[in-house]
Amino acid sequence: MCTNIGKGDFIRIVVDTNILISSIFWRGNPYRILKKCFEKKVKLVISKEILDEVGRILIREKKFRLNKDDVLLYTEILLNNSELVN
């Protein structure tokens, strides 16, 4: 189980687009990984490119077809619970 290391240091993780999208729609391991990030037990590290790709897929793919407002909300939640890197 991933836990904080101590003295404010957290295990930093990078996940790909598939993990981020799966965490929205299903309650498997991808969901559990992101839940740990939201619980501040691990630190999610994310890039603008990954966020952009997630948004494009959620809007474009027929099986998801989220509206732009929902996608913006999701990316905002991710940004508020992660470390943005270049």
Q: What's the whole-model pTM score?
A: 0.80
Is 61 within a domain? yes
Instruction: Report the relative pairing of strands 12-14 and 43-47 from DSSP bridges.
Output: parallel
Length of the chain: 86
pLDDT of residue 32: 95
Ramachandran class of 22: left when φ > 0, alpha when ψ lies in -120 to 50, beta otherwise: alpha
Annotate 1-40 with three-state secondary structure: CCCCCECCECCEEECCHHHHHHHHHCCCHHHHHHHHHHCC
- Indicate which CATH number applies to the domain containing 75: 3.40.50.1010
Is 4 within a domain? no
Is 71 within a domain? yes
pLDDT of residue 12: 95
pLDDT tens, 26-68?
A: 999 999 999 999 999 999 999 999 999 999 999 988 888 889 9
Domain that holds residue 16: 12-85
pLDDT of residue 6: 55
Domain count, the chain: 1
